[in-house]
Structure 1
């Protein structure tokens, strides 16, 4: 089963993905979490529209083609079951071609990634969970999480406002991901998630 966790930057996708996989394993269900950081484009592609570009982040951050061809396709009906665990290394900017795994019977593969319902990609998921979080709450979380990596709180806020959260705004306007998701969870308080639909 191909499960996608979707939501704004800072909505808590990775946290919930890890919790979900841990719970599934606890219940005896084979489950794997794929890290979306392993499915970025190389820097030359990610920043070709400028390092501050919201449209650039939306269009170019993730290699959604590789996600479709090397993960979701092989895990789907008639697929080989052999899927890529990552296609890119963020630290070195290297393209990865040989890191794969084989899904076992009944395995659940969970990937958390912004923009995973873009276009035809939506039809390749078996279940999509949308995490509903107010924009300001998600923004504050993202800034707190990435301040050190982005050069401090002010720099992180500027990057989120101009690029990351602005790209999420494009995604919500163009794809209406909350409406298309199978399950919607209020994740404003990660300690007390609330099922809204599903």
Structure 2
């Protein structure tokens, strides 16, 4: 795996410039981008920085995190608080993501996106207002395990941590999730299949392939 050293600022600029000219796979007016990575890799931080870089270039975007589409605790934790199969396949409401995020951004869609649905802290609906993404606006969806779903992304970015870095940067109470990411690597190969790969073992000195 050949990667080049880069700074975060340069990486964000390159991604933003690429998104300005990104064609959608279905001919729709809204490019859809995945920023995939374990929580410890902080893909949401990268999404926010890319959104800001797009803003200063005059391109609207909407940052959506899959954490806002967790299933209710009664469903998510049906088989216990540390059930790996549930975490891998059933914690996130993919049906709601299709209905509230991807369908409105499909050709002929309204562009009216619900940015989040469920608050895992209160275990209640967020009741957030819909956001209007104008034609040409970019969806930046961030979260873990994104690439083993059949979401219609036009660009995929995977933020990679080595197993050692992932363990070090994951809080100990969440170490039970680590086998899910090992399985993800084996079954989905996000490092090999993503359009852009960012290695962030040392958060001060990333490297990339894109």
* TM-score of the pair, normalised by structure 2: 0.78
Offset at residue 5 of structure 1 (A): 0.5
The residue correspondences of 1:19-38 to structure 2 (distance < 5 A) are: 19-38=49-68
Gapped regions of structure 1 (runs ≥ 5): 144-156
Q: How many residue pairs end up in the alignment?
A: 180
Residue in structure 2 matched with residue 72 of structure 1 by the alignment: 102
Offset at residue 96 of structure 1 (A): 4.5
Residue in structure 2 matched with residue 125 of structure 1 by the alignment: 153
Q: Which whole-Å CA distance do the structure 1 matches of 2:106 and 2:206 have between them?
A: 29
Q: Which whole-Å CA distance do the structure 2 matches of 1:178 and 1:167 have between them?
A: 15
Offset at residue 59 of structure 1 (A): 1.8
Q: Which whole-Å CA distance do the structure 2 matches of 1:160 and 1:136 have between them?
A: 15
Of 83, 100, 107 in structure 1, the residue corresponding to residue 130 of structure 2 is: 100
- Write out per-residue CA displacement over residues 68-123 of structure 1, whole angstroms, 9 at most, x where no aligned residue: 221012112222211111111122211356631111132112121112112422xx
More helix by share: 1
Q: Which whole-Å CA distance do the structure 2 matches of 1:50 and 1:179 have between them?
A: 32
Deviates more, 1:98-107 or 1:125-134: 98-107
Gapped regions of structure 2 (runs ≥ 5): 1-30
* TM-score of the pair, normalised by structure 1: 0.82
- Write out per-residue CA displacement over residues 27-69 of structure 1, whole angstroms, 9 at most, x where no aligned residue: 2221221132211110011111211111121122111121122
